[in-house]
Chain A
């Protein structure tokens, strides 16, 4: 169901979607049953039809057993949900597969700074490619990210990957993803980070290995000082002005 609402763009997206679908079915049944019972009682026992109520305290086992049955059923459903929830969590957040490439992501007020390891596939070397608000990835590659924040909390969110992780000043948080579909997608900031939070988006470009290599060559050819020149605007001021609909409108 979820895959019809939003594209599955990473290796673990389907697992998370299955979990959401599973919960949807289980709680959906409970919800309909409970609402059905509620509406049935309201209609069945309305005063016009039943002017006199029965005396039921709900203290005797004859009556409480119905609540116990509901309990047992809930516990079984809970165990199901827990199993799949913990499995998905373990896969996405706890167990990191071997990285093929490692990128650095820094959140700051109000832009994302991405460092690609470049052609040598090593961070903190001369050929690193730094971009602002635009992340280029190659498809079908296991990425690790080192997530940092410069000033306040941010949260790195890629809906098509089903990935979200807060960035905390003073910490480096490592996570992973494996992009499976090429195309252009949104990166969001999902933790309130001040004035520009609502426009702190970035563009994600997932491309084939060849395209990515060409992009890296183009970037390093044009920019010996990578952070100084980018295809995208690289100062926060430009960044704000280029966003739609006037963040800086005054009342």
Chain B
């Protein structure tokens, strides 16, 4: 396919106006670019939030450069928004919406998505959700600070959360985001199933498209209960109905079930596209076929199904019947089987290959190396007996950042470096790319390895000031400071990336016909 002929959906049509082309496009590539840009902006914002609250932890009560003093309410709001932003407004738009929109029609030989206007609507609703979320920082009481899990009654009662506007805007924004991804998801599924070029059988579909579509199916199957839960939460907040209020016959645990029934499959919703991206890249740069394509495909379906029956491992200590925990421990530990399978399949793909360490390949391999750490530490938390201690400590934080950072940042960047020539017709600078890689990967480990230790020593999450707990990890403040310093280093190393990304659009080496590494 000729990369210079970008707007292949509009040839033969009238000349497009600026707003048709950039503000309200129906072209899948432009929508992908919109999702990518918004997602990257939100990712940087989420990173900035992390810098602010980590700085408060490292030096409690002192002024944060570029922000000022952080009070407890702001601390909670920033930590909550960091989690929400990174998962719903960074990982999902970049991994699923941007790559899905960009790759699906190109890779299956379709002109565009099957429903281009639904596609446009999807982004517009997503943009609206972004605006609602950001606006919630500027309303009376400030943004919602009740953690990204938003457990009621804290989230449902303004008197407890002290953010009467913030809580409602937060849940509204999340609900809108879900609607956007439902619209996008149905589009991905229908396009992949119905619009493939003749002769492309199910088993010929590139694995990355399968992962995006399986993720969309998982999302659609799991998000319904949470959307219902979100609406009940809004009713509780605004009309005091009491779905989650025990005094009115409601039950706060109900929300936890609805949330985690979605929340755990959501992990695989973002994991699978990341694994798909990585699979494409390591096969190209090791010049190998993916080891056992069908095995990978069925394993991914299996993992997806299994992810629907593990949700209560987030609730071992939430006051649910302790006997139930045993069941969920078994299902959770079983997840180790397909995940091991996937990791080993990827490693086996390298076997007898011819490996070239480009920036994209480095990011893809670092995904594997880091995700292994995230995988094995999950066993500690899935085992109910160990979770009684490690639950809600920094061990949990370190564990899921060792899954989410590889997924959203390492795999996302790998995909961006890899498909950049296809997106913009020019190559990114490899030297800057490698500086960016090492400047991201090393500090990332320096942030989270100390947090495993802090968690094991008893540091709990979401704490504004550890001075309130003089006997817990008392002499480990230097580790908190080290992790914070590493956050700053990691953020600073995104500057060469942004420079590279924007200047290469205009000045990068022209990508030849054989670019995007022989794939196109």
A216 to chain B, nearest CB (A): 23
- The reply to whether A6 and B469 form a contact with Cβ atoms under 8 Å apart is no
Instruction: Determine if B415 is an interface residue (Cβ-Cβ < 8 Å).
Output: no
Closest residue on chain A to residue B147 by CB atoms = A192
B151 to chain A, nearest CB (A): 5
Instruction: Please give the residue numbers on chain A whose beta carbons come within 8 Å of chain B beta carbons, in ascending order.
Output: 2, 5-6, 15-16, 19-20, 23-24, 26-28, 30-31, 34-35, 37-38, 41-42, 45-47, 50-59, 63-64, 66-67, 70-71, 74-75, 78, 81-82, 84-90, 92-94, 109, 151-153, 155, 157, 159-160, 162-171, 173, 184-186, 188-201, 243-251
Classify chain B's interface size: 35 or more
User: Can you list, as one digit per residue, whether each of B331-371 has a CB less than 8 Å from chain A (1) or not (0)?
Assistant: 00110110011011101111111111100000001001100
Closest residue on chain B to residue A67 by CB atoms = B344
Instruction: Determine if B286 is an interface residue (Cβ-Cβ < 8 Å).
Output: yes
**Residues on A with beta carbons closer than 8 Å to the beta carbon of B70:** 251
B361 to chain A, nearest CB (A): 9
- The reply to whether B162 and A45 form a contact with Cβ atoms under 8 Å apart is no
* A231 CA / B207 CA spacing, docked (Å): 66
- The reply to whether A163 and B153 form a contact with Cβ atoms under 8 Å apart is no
- The reply to whether A88 and B146 form a contact with Cβ atoms under 8 Å apart is no
Q: A86-B385, A163-B388, A251-B74 are in contact. Are A170 and B289 (CB under 8 A)?
A: no
**Residues on A with beta carbons closer than 8 Å to the beta carbon of B392:** 155, 157, 164, 190-191
**Residues on A with beta carbons closer than 8 Å to the beta carbon of B353:** 41, 45, 50, 53-54
Instruction: Please give the residue numbers on chain B whose beta carbons come within 8 Å of chain A beta carbons, in ascending order.
Output: 60-61, 68-76, 145-147, 149, 151-154, 157, 160-162, 246-247, 251-253, 286-295, 317-319, 322-323, 325-326, 329-330, 333-334, 336-337, 340-341, 343-345, 347-357, 365, 368-369, 372-373, 376-377, 379-380, 383-386, 388-393, 453, 456-458, 460-465, 467-473
- The reply to whether B153 and A70 form a contact with Cβ atoms under 8 Å apart is no
**Residues on B with beta carbons closer than 8 Å to the beta carbon of A58:** 289-293, 295, 345, 348-349
**Residues on B with beta carbons closer than 8 Å to the beta carbon of A64:** 292, 295
Q: A85-B383, A153-B153 are in contact. Are A198 and B464 (CB under 8 A)?
A: yes
**Residues on A with beta carbons closer than 8 Å to the beta carbon of B453:** 5
**Residues on B with beta carbons closer than 8 Å to the beta carbon of A86:** 326, 329, 384-385
**Residues on B with beta carbons closer than 8 Å to the beta carbon of A46:** 354-357
Q: A71-B341, A188-B472 are in contact. Are A23 and B457 (CB under 8 A)?
A: no
**Residues on A with beta carbons closer than 8 Å to the beta carbon of B469:** 186, 188, 201
* A191 CA / B319 CA spacing, docked (Å): 12
A123 to chain B, nearest CB (A): 20
B505 to chain A, nearest CB (A): 29
